[in-house]
Structures are given as structure tokens and as C-alpha cells.
Chains A and B, each alone.
Chain A
């Protein structure tokens, strides 16, 4: 059975597909959030050095990983839009940006809340924290740049350029703890193994998966609104049951 993938790169067909896909990501996300938080708060043991404060990792680590990952996906979609002139990929990039900014903010915020009792400071200008702050500014800059240009096609191109150039920052965030002396600790999750108790790991990876599914669900919902907004003058939109109503 051959599927014509290009059929779904048209906003008119993707609108319906995205709508059907949302519950398949939203419900598992909600379920995994509950499991992850339960394991994180009630099953995982306390840390021998940090006590209960370490439990911030169950939200801080997934948020940080996803803030970087979403940026790369966003830049990838933006590049696709720029190269192939496809409308839908540019819309996906626009749809991902607010969620990425949200996760970058959560990562910085929870990090500060943990940093005060553990390090003794809300904020230090070390390489990891500073580059993550730049990531938040890149997201906000992308959103602001697109919003400031009236013509959506030109806004897409300008935003795409910023997104692509900014992607240089992501490896800097990831490797910052290796390249420079930082106050932020090195990576706990390595390809060679993880220096963490098994229940803590399970809770963290469950939360990571939950956040990931949430990102997919919420960006699909958002891209549907963007499609409706941009294609509002097309006939297929006016014929939609939810628009007619």
C-alpha cells in the first residue's frame, strides 16, 4: 500500500489529519504526566546529598532537553519551508515556537528555584545558564519578528533565517558544561550510562515522554489555528462544518 505523503503537505488535508491525531497524543501525554509525577514524588527515593530538592529534575531536565530539541525541529521546518517553498512547514515552525519558549522559561525558572538552596545563588552567568537564556531570547525574537511583518510569506522567510542561524546555539548549550568551567553540573544522562538511581530514571524518562507527547499535541492544535487563519479566504475553509456553524 503506497501512501502519498505529499498529499498531507497540503494545509487543506493536513488540517483534518492533525485534528484526528491530537487525541492520540494528548491522552497518552496526560496519562504519562500522572504516572511520571506519581513515581517522581512517591516512588523515587530522596537523594543522599540534596534531599528532596533534587525532585526538580523531573520537570527541569525534560523542559531543558525539549527546549533545545524543539528549537532544532523548528529550525528544520523553517529550512524546509525556505528550500522547498512549502507553506505547511513554515506554519509548523510558527506553531512550535511558543511551546519551545515556554519550555526554555520553565527550564530557567525551575533551575533558579533549585539554584538558590543548592548552589546559594538564583543565577550565575555561567556558560550553560547564559546560552539557555539566549535560547529563550531566540524563541522570543522569532515570534516577535514573525508578528512584526504583515505579509505571512515574508514573515516566514525572515523568521526562518533567524531560526536557522540561531540553531548554532543549541550545540553550544549542550556542550557548554564540557567546554568550559561552569557551576552547572555535567550531563547525568550519557551515552555510556546514567549515574542515577533506577526509579529516578524511570520517573524522569516518563516525564520526558509525557512532555514530548504534549508538545506534539499542542503544536498540532496550534498549527490548525494557523492554517485556518492563513487560508480563511479559501473555499475549503468556508465549507468546513466548524466554520459554517
Chain B
């Protein structure tokens, strides 16, 4: 039957068929490879993954998440900082000595590269700030803040959920 189909097809039909088949097969192959390399393609591990020991133990890796509000502490030398990273499930402590990027802020995303030591503190050699996809004008940000304040003033008992 396949032979019959092949004989009945015009050359341009045949070429179209081959091209579509080639894209499908190649796409599937690439998809499978990327799926198998899922953990290697991702830039960083989440604190939950680190907690589950999915991250490498002896060598350095990257960990990403949000900086916990109020966790940032600076040492006297002005360079060494301590903060916590969370993925809302698990939280881990990070220590870093160096200059933080401009976008580094409590409550915002961050990616740190370093090693997890025996004291369960992540010693970072590099800290990168992760920007989110929102672009907000200063006036709009102020308006949002005022609205949040007004909402909390009207109903102080119910916490604002995002």
C-alpha cells in the first residue's frame, strides 16, 4: 500500500511530505533530548530542589528564588551580606561578599551561584538580580500603593491576598 501511495504522488507532493516528515522527526528528537536534559537546561535550582537533595552536593550550582522580606542583613565591613531565598515552599540562607546588582531588593527575584556548605548556608560567589515582566510607571506604582493602603484601611481584619 505504501508502494502504491509512493507511485501515485507527484514529485512536489512527495517533497512536501518528506519535508514535513523530516521536521516532525527532527522536532521530536530535539524535544526528547531537551526533555532528558531538563535539569541541565534550567539555569538554577529552587530551594525546594536543594532541600530534596536534587542539587549537586560537592560542586557549585545556582539557586534562584525571591529574597525574603526583612531578611537582608549587612555586616560591619559593608560588603558581606546575609539574606534568605524562598520559593514560597522552602527557605534557605545565603551569604555573599561583594557588590549587589542595582535591581537586588527584598521581595524580588534573585539568582545566586555558589556552594552549599555543611552549616546549610549557601556561600554565593555571584549574585544576579532577576527582573520580572512588569513595567510600571512611577505614578502608577504610587496609585497602586495608595489603593492598597485604602483597602487595608477599610478592612483591616482581612489581609490583602495577591
Q: A residues engaging B (CB < 8 A)?
A: 45-50, 54, 57, 79, 82-85, 117-121, 124-127, 164-165, 167-168, 172, 179-183, 185-188, 195-197, 199-200
Contact = CB atoms under 8 A, between A and B. Distances in A.
B133 A172 contact: no
17 contacts: A49-B108, A82-B15, A83-B15, A83-B16, A120-B127, A120-B129, A126-B43, A164-B23, A165-B22, A180-B38, A180-B42, A181-B43, A183-B130, A185-B130, A185-B133, A188-B135, A200-B135
Contacts of B133: 185-188, 195
Query: Chain B interface secondary structure, helix, strand, loop or mixed?
Result: mixed
A45 B43 contact: no
**B45, B108, B134 interface centre (most CB from chain A within 10 Å):** B134
Given A83-B16, A180-B38, A125 B43 contact: yes
Nearest to A160: B19
Nearest to B134: A195
Given A118-B102, A172-B34, A181-B64, A165 B41 contact: no
Interface in B8-32: 12, 15-16, 19, 22-23, 26-27, 30
Contact of A50 (B23, B104, B128, B131): B131
A84 B134 contact: no
Contact of B27 (A79, A84, A168): A168
B5 interface: no
A48 B129 CA distance: 16
B130 A46 contact: no
Contacts of B127: 120
B56 interface: no
B44 interface: yes
A241 B64 CA distance: 64
**B30, B129, B133 interface centre (most CB from chain A within 10 Å):** B133
A168 to B, nearest CB: 5
Nearest to A198: B137
Given A50-B103, A119-B103, A197-B137, A181 B23 contact: no
Contacts of A180: 38, 41-43
A91 to B, nearest CB: 19
Contacts of A196: 134-135
B41 A124 contact: no
Contacts of A168: 23, 26-27, 30
